[in-house]
Amino acid sequence: MADDDIKGLIIVTTLVFLIAAAFVLAYMLVYNSRKKRYMEEKAQMKLTFDAEIAKTQYEVQEQTMQTIGADLHDNIGQLLSLTSLTLNSIEVGKPAKAKEKIDAAIDLTLRSIKEMRLLGKLLQGDQLVVLGLSAAVRHEIAWMERSGKYKVSYEDDGEMPAANNPDKDLIIFRILQEVLNNIIKHSRASRIRIKLEYLGGSLQLQVNDNGKGFDIGNLDDGQRGMGLFNIQKRAGIIGGQVDILSRPGKGTSITIIIPYP
């Protein structure tokens, strides 16, 4: 083999090795860059999730305090006022009627104590979720039904996994609160149907009402503030999706599907 051929082979071989080394180096740089970006995105997602959990806890507590304030004013306050009026109207000189009024005052007092115990449970706020998502949903429905304005049906279907996810439960619970608040403020509904179902690794929450409904494709500025954005945003943070079906005069159906646990 001629010297020129040997030199040429050496040059080609050297170039191949250099190109291979450059390719490996470029690949490592791209891989490290992508890995770094992935770790940064993961860290940012965790920060976002932690911030959302903190915000949700605060909002659940705020919702709880609003409910307590309204109930103290509208229910327990009235019971105690009636108790006071009943006791003040007792005439000592009429034993039979006095006994009736004392019995009535005792009954009102016992009802007030019962209401205070219920409020004590509600003061736990997001701790309700610790008892299980379904139990928290039932508790929320019970308070909503107290107004007498809504007929609420609730169905809990499918066996929940042994290991729950308290953080997801809290966000799902807050989503339900937002949906119910929208119904109270905007829908003019009288009947609400809630279904919580666990199927194939996903939790599905569906809320239907018989309210006035709306045109999803033609929302005005007032309707855009109905909390729909928050519902979709919160579901997205925990990997879920939201489907909204509504027509004017035909009520609204909101379905939230979330990977679980």
- Domains delineated in the chain: 1-123 (no CATH), 128-261 (3.30.565.10)
Question: Could you read off the pLDDT of 220-256 as tens digits, one per residue?
Answer: 655 555 578 888 888 998 999 999 999 999 999 999 9
Per-residue pLDDT at 166 exceeds 80: yes
Residue of 116, 246, 238 whose CA lies nearest to 173: 238
The whole-model pTM stands at: 0.67
Chain segment 10-41, per-residue pLDDT in tens: 787 888 888 888 888 888 888 888 888 877 77
Enclosing H/E stretch for 198: strand 191-199
Residues 111/90, Cβ–Cβ less than 8 Å: no
Return d(Cα 172, Cα 238) in angstroms, integer: 9
Q: How far apart are CA 112 and CA 78, in angstroms?
A: 9
